[in-house]
């Protein structure tokens, strides 16, 4: 079975001035963080270190990045899209976002 490991999230520009409360979704389900609703991240690199379950060679991965908000609906910041083709890495995938979004993030992952 192929193993896709999500290594880290890099924040260059947060959505909110006081930094974002991040969680990740795949196929409509929250996959990180596992035991809480979100993680407040810092600028730069935040270690994620988790394995994507139930993936197959050739899969297109579309992982959504969300910001948790306490008083308003959570914000969808964008999608990390990549393919499980060639083993190796670490690879870096930029967040694709709507024009109205200022947040700038990238994701590091590897595929063995």
- Rounded-to-integer distance, Cα 29 and Cα 42, Å: 24
Residue 51 exposed, middle or buried by CB count within 10 Å (0-12, 13-18, 19+): exposed
User: CB of 36: closest distance to Ca ion in angstroms?
Assistant: 14
Residue 78 tokens read as 């964008």
Q: Considering beta carbons, is residue 1 or 17 the nearer one to Ca ion?
A: 17
Interaction of residue 38 with Ca ion, rule CB under 5 A: no
Taking residues 54 to 93 in sequence order and writing x for each that binds Ca ion by CB under 5 A, - otherwise, the string is: -------------x-x-----x------------------
Q: Output the smallest distance, CB 18 to Ca ion, in A.
A: 8
**With CB under 5 A, what is the number of residues at the site for Ca ion?**
4
Task: Enter the tokens of residue 107.
Answer: 């994701």
Burial label for 89, CB within 10 Å (0-12, 13-18, 19+), is middle
- To the nearest whole angstrom, how small is the minimum distance from the Cβ of residue 91 to Ca ion? 27
Tell the residue number behind the tokens 């694709």, with chain if given: 96
Interface residues toward Ca ion, by CB under 5 A = 21, 67, 69, 75
């Amino acid at each position: 079975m192929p193993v896709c490991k999500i290594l880290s999230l890099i924040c260059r520009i947060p959505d909110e001035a006081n930094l974002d409360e991040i969680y990740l979704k795949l196929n409509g389900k929250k996959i990180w963080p596992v035991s809480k609703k979100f993680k407040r991240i810092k600028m730069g690199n935040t270690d994620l270190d988790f394995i994507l379950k139930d993936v197959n060679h050739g899969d297109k991965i579309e992982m959504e990045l969300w910001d948790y908000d306490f008083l308003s609906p959570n914000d969808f910041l964008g999608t990390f899209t990549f393919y499980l083709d060639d083993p190796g890495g670490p690879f870096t995938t930029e967040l694709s976002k709507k024009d109205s979004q200022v947040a700038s993030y990238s994701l590091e992952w590897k595929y063995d």
